[in-house]
Chain A
Amino acid sequence: MIEARGLTKRFGDKVAVDDLSFVVEPGVVTGFLGPNGAGKSTTMRMILGLDHPTRGQALVNGHPYARAKAPMREVGALLDAKDVHGGRTAHAHLKSLAQSNGLPGKRVEEVLDLVGMREVADKRIKGFSLGMSQRLGIAAAMLGDPQILMFDEPVNGLDPEGILWIRRFMQREAANGRTVFVSSHLMSEMALTAEHLIVIGRGKLLADTSVTDFIAQNSAGGVRVRTPQVEELRDAFDRAGIKVTDVDKYLQVEGMSTDEVGDLAAANHITIHELFAQRSSLEEAFMEMTRDSVEYHAQMGDEPALDPAAMVGGTK
């Protein structure tokens, strides 16, 4: 279990993490979602004791991580896969980490097998692709067979195969009863991976909810209808007490299904050219929620955002 209590981090004038409180439970993948610069990495660094909180505290299994007696048996973390000395071999890197916690040498071979890297164990890390580095980072995290796994943007920059591998890995380990806490700036990725969501923006907690509830609450519904008889249809909605708004060449209807709109038009002998349910995507819901808390806005006017899944890339 991971717990944040009023966690706050200031860098000079800038508040990176602002009074954040949440609990991450075992048995499910918990997604830590927020736009770039929302404070996800800083929060994770504070959980691991790498950064000192300005206020509040982060607890791992009920105590600050720095007081862990066998740190690697409690938490396995992967913050940035490229944070390794490229001059070492994968085997030497893992061996030094295992030794630091008095873990048996055979764990090195076991985790190398776990991530399928036995063949490259004696290669120097600087020649590794990002995907291989991610696997090495996961191998390092698994050395102590820890109860808690924490990954910062693990699918960033990976090819689809790598993304699928990590997603399945996290789901399997959560199903095995581990606490899995994974950050991402992509709602679409979290919708596929996580069961629970902690959403932050500008360091503040925006939501702490199950993915199912998040989808139910944030997928704005509504129906759009296009007709050559706009005024007649508007009057018909007025009489039915339904509020409509103009969106481009459509009327946007709230509180009615497509069936009901069709029936209402038929009853009033109004021609309909187009009628469809409007469902904003999860990604749009996420962006809507964090709109005020995004660090840097791109100037996109009223254009719908590009499919963020197509923008998988570095956040560092």
Chain B
Amino acid sequence: MGNVIRSEWTKIWSVRSTPWTLLILVIATAGISVLISWGETTHLDSPGAPARSAIDVTYDSLAGLSLGQLAIAVLGVLVVTTEYSTGGIKATLTAVPNRLRVLAAKGIVFAIVATVVGMITSFVTFYVTMPFWSHQHLAAHIGDPGVLRAIIGAGLYILASGMFGFALGAVIRHTAGAITAAVALLLVVPPLMNLLPGTWGKDIYKVFTSNAGSMIATTMPQSDHLSPWPGYIAMTIWWVVPLILGAYLIQRRDA
């Protein structure tokens, strides 16, 4: 297993798309977060703005996550689907015919990369946005209740989004299809779930991918949402289930 993990480590870092995607992830997440923090802190006293005490400063400062989740999901998709689109899967599976081992090694390597980059992204984002908030005497501090958990949670959310893309890639095997599915399910569909009627509609909205997973980055209870850890567990189920399906399919399908 160690051999296959080393091999996948070499693979993921020997294509240009990896460093580029990760760089874009960090810059876009931090950049969007800065813009949102700047905008929000500028309009604090305008009519219609929420009360200062009602603002979840940590969560809002990490708002760029909605973009970061897509970048890591796309990389997760590509890690699997480029094997199929390039035909490299034949060499991979000829070298290591144990397909579960290949999928597991790929998953472990990608999870390590996603976690490290996720943590870097969340801490960088938190610290570059705080000056805007401290200007308004609202800055959150790492020692405040829930703040450290929220920042680490944002990193873990990057991991979960990446694994969601990875799992979709393993099931769908086609780059365009898997990326479309990932973007739809992480970004487009979750807010639409709010339109579902009744209490069951609210329940579906609560547990739906990013609606649930992003709660790990909050420090205050959010109405109509799950609390941090239950939300993160729901998000984890969203990627574990397709990954199990992908693990079943990779053994059953012809390569």
Seen from chain A, the residues whose Cβ lies within 8 Å of a Cβ on chain B are 45, 48-52, 65-68, 71-72, 75, 77, 79-80, 82-89, 92-93, 95-97, 99-102, 140
Q: Which residues of B contact A102 (CB under 8 A)?
A: 3
B88–A71 CB distance below 8 A: no
Once the chains are docked, how many angstroms separate the CA of A96 from the CA of B92?
9
A-B contact count (CB 8 A): 90
Task: Give the Cβ gap from B255 to chain A, nearest Cβ, in Å.
Answer: 4
Q: Which residues of A contact B86 (CB under 8 A)?
A: 83-86
Interface residue from B17, B95, B255 paired with A101 (Cβ < 8 Å): B95
Task: Give the Cβ gap from A79 to chain B, nearest Cβ, in Å.
Answer: 6
A72–B95 CB distance below 8 A: yes
Task: Give the Cβ gap from A238 to chain B, nearest Cβ, in Å.
Answer: 60
Closest to A89 in B: B14
Please name 29 pairs of A and B residues whose Cβ atoms are closer than 8 Å in the assembled complex, sorted by A.
Answer: A45-B254, A49-B93, A49-B97, A51-B255, A52-B252, A52-B254, A66-B98, A67-B97, A71-B95, A71-B96, A72-B94, A72-B95, A80-B87, A83-B87, A83-B91, A85-B11, A85-B88, A87-B14, A88-B11, A88-B15, A89-B14, A96-B10, A96-B11, A96-B14, A97-B91, A99-B7, A99-B10, A100-B92, A100-B96
Give residues 77-120 of B contacting A (CB, 8 Å): 82-83, 86-88, 90-98
Max chain B C-beta neighbours (<10 A), residue from A45, A65, A85, A86? A85
B152 CB within 8 Å of chain A? no
List the 8 closest pairs (A to B, CB-CB), nearest first. A83-B87, A92-B14, A100-B7, A99-B7, A66-B97, A96-B10, A50-B255, A51-B254
Q: Which residues of A contact B97 (CB under 8 A)?
A: 48-49, 65-68, 71
Task: Give the Cβ gap from B92 to chain A, nearest Cβ, in Å.
Answer: 8
Once the chains are docked, how many angstroms separate the CA of A260 from the CA of B95?
61
A75–B10 CB distance below 8 A: no
Q: A45-B254, A66-B97, A100-B3 are in contact. List 16 more A-B contacts (CB 8 A).
A: A48-B94, A49-B93, A51-B254, A51-B255, A66-B98, A85-B11, A86-B86, A87-B15, A87-B17, A95-B14, A96-B11, A96-B14, A99-B3, A100-B4, A100-B96, A101-B95
Task: Give the Cβ gap from A247 to chain B, nearest Cβ, in Å.
Answer: 48
Q: Which residues of B contact A71 (CB under 8 A)?
A: 94-97
Give residues 41-68 of B contacting A (CB, 8 Å): none
